[in-house]
Structure 1
Amino acid sequence: MNSSLFLSQLLNGVQLGVLLFLLSSGLTLIFGIMNFINLAHGSLYMVGAFIGAATYNASGSFVFAIIAAIVAAGLVGLLLEHLVAKPLYRYDHLYQVLATFGLMMFFNELAIVIFGSRPYYAAIPSALEGAVTVFGSQYPVYRILIIVVGILVALGAWYLIQKTRFGMLIRAGASNSAMVSVLGVNIDLLKKLLFMLGAGLAGLAGALAGPILSVQSGMGEPVLILALVVIVVGGIGSIRGALVAAMIIAIIDTLGRAYMPHMLGSFMKPATANAVGPAVASMLIYILMALVLAFRPNGILAPAKR
């Protein structure tokens, strides 16, 4: 096994894990506290990617593009919470799924109307081009930036949840939102702020992913599926669980896609192994989720039921 290739793929897995964490951290808090299933969360990721790419192409400032993506996604999230989520809090999850699925289709068509059906170009800033040596292996600077941003966001989320009054209310709301409301906390405002926070993180993930992925209509659905697997494996409502599960799932997926065809090639034809390998690697993620649901249904970092 080539150690340089393995390290590169491992770092790719960590980078994908960071993007999954940014997307799933907000989603798991929304689901855990509001008990609201938001299938349009992937659309907020897409909004961040499009706004970030369009802003960078227009202004030439990558920092401004990131800020614009976060703000735009946060405002769209606030609008969705007020118009769609709030009226549906008291209804069954089926209504939430149908409504947010419809929103997902709406955003996909809106993206085609505004930006066209072809992939929208998002360039890597010139200052972040090139590669650096990491443990003897060359790795792109931009991908390292994504990893660093993810680490900083994870630390910031930990501080927000564990060390601030807002975080205390979030944790209390996750345990018993009705009691928090009775104690005089404006639970509606808390939900709006939380929805904006989750949407902003999704927008940040989209803006960071834009230069290395294809920015196009429907780009939020594949990553949303992975994000849902992350919150199931990590534990609904757990930021720490989302981080750990995102890293595990991303590394399994990345290394599986890189090495599974080679492993299958030892007893299959190369063409067959190359076709089957990525599918088997994807299956490993769902096998992991099935095992977690069977033995730790609350998530790998949630306390086990007695």
Structure 2
Amino acid sequence: MSTQVFIFGALNGVGIGMIYFILSIGLTMIFGLMQFVNFAHGAFYMVSAYAAFAIAQWTGSVLPALLISPLLAAIFALVSERVLLQRTYNLPHEAQILITFALAILAQETVTMIFGTLGKNVPVPEMFNGVVILGGFVYPSYRLFVVAVAVVVAVVMWLAIERTRLGAMLRAAAENAEMVGLLGFDSRKIFMGAFAFGGALAGLAGALAAPLRGVEPLMGREALAIAFVVVILGGLGSFSGALLAALLIGITQSLMSMIWPGGAHLMIYGVMTMILAFRPTGLMGRS
């Protein structure tokens, strides 16, 4: 592999990794901070991607979907949490897995009934349909846009969690929900907000990914598997770890798809296994 091809593959991997990062930090918040195992997270991603497809068909551009689809995913997550999932917070993780997995299957089958089983293509926005020349390399404009969006999301997330009163309450509720309640705050509302926000982030990832990979009913399962790999590899509850792990997975997958296309997906789990063998708590996780 020439140096130019290697760099091109690495740059493509950055774009893929940034989508994985946006997808995974929502799961990191729910899984790492709330101690809730959410197997429906991929369904939020899938529903948003299909909403992006429908909006692109209706308006002629996927750009409005970047605002509307995350909102729809947040509503889906909020309704699921209020109607069903809040009743499972004190149940064993096995029960949470079964219930959220059933919710994901329900969403998948509903999408299949509406849109069919065949995949759909989502056009890249007209304004991002070209390329950007970076030194001697050519990089798709839309992938650069995805990276920029992910950077903004990362900065906003860090400021919200580490520098705001709401972020402090969220971290406190995750550590000791009963104590937060004694201080006059409703931990249930904090968790409800975190769940909706996590759904919105998964929705944003789905809307961004739709023009790159298209949409199909099983995309939620693939997204869920990768999100859990990123969360575990980065370290439970670690946002910086999620960013590092997502970039590592994205670049690995992109490079391997050029060297060994059939094993590109397999190498995601190979990288995770090798790193966890030496760091069981993940790249940035704590014991």
The reply to whether TM is greater than 0.5 is yes
Matched with 1:278 is: 262
Matched with 1:191 is: 191
Aligned length: 287
CA distance in 1, matches of 2:165, 2:253: 37
Do structure 1's residue 78 and structure 2's residue 78 form an aligned pair? Answer: yes
CA change 1:251–1:203 in 2 (3 A) is: same
Tell me the percent identity: 38
CA distance in 1, matches of 2:10, 2:140: 13
CA distance in 2, matches of 1:206, 1:287: 25
Shift of 1:230: 0.6
Matched with 1:255 is: 255
Q: Superposed, which structure 2 residues align to 1:163-174 within 5 Å?
A: 163-174=163-174
Decide whether the 8 Å contact of 1:33 with 1:177 is kept in 2. Answer: no
**Secondary structure of 1:138's aligned partner:** strand
Shift of 1:142: 0.8
What is the TM-score normalised by the length of structure 2?
0.94
Report Cα offsets for 1:233-255 as digits up to 9, x if no partner. Answer: 11111111111111112112221
Q: Superposed, which structure 2 residues align to 1:99-178 within 5 Å?
A: 99-178=99-178
Aligned residue type for 2:59: S
Matched with 2:272 is: 289
Aligned residue type for 2:197: L
Aligned residue type for 2:32: G
Aligned residue type for 2:285: A
Shift of 1:289: 2.5
CA distance in 2, matches of 1:241, 1:170: 19
CA distance in 2, matches of 1:191, 1:185: 11
**Secondary structure of 2:213's aligned partner:** coil
CA change 1:282–1:213 in 2 (3 A) is: closer
Decide whether the 8 Å contact of 1:56 with 1:65 is kept in 2. Answer: yes
Which ranges in structure 2 are unaligned for 5 or more consecutive residues? none
Matched with 2:52 is: 52
Aligned residue type for 1:181: G
Decide whether the 8 Å contact of 1:36 with 1:85 is kept in 2. Answer: no
CA distance in 1, matches of 2:279, 2:137: 38
CA distance in 1, matches of 2:23, 2:72: 15
**Secondary structure of 2:36's aligned partner:** coil
CA distance in 1, matches of 2:156, 2:43: 24
Aligned residue type for 2:272: M
What is the TM-score normalised by the length of structure 1?
0.89
Aligned residue type for 1:278: G
Aligned residue type for 2:250: A
CA distance in 2, matches of 1:32, 1:155: 19
CA distance in 2, matches of 1:73, 1:141: 26
CA distance in 1, matches of 2:26, 2:175: 17
Moved more, 289-298 or 4-13: 289-298
Shift of 1:300: 1.5
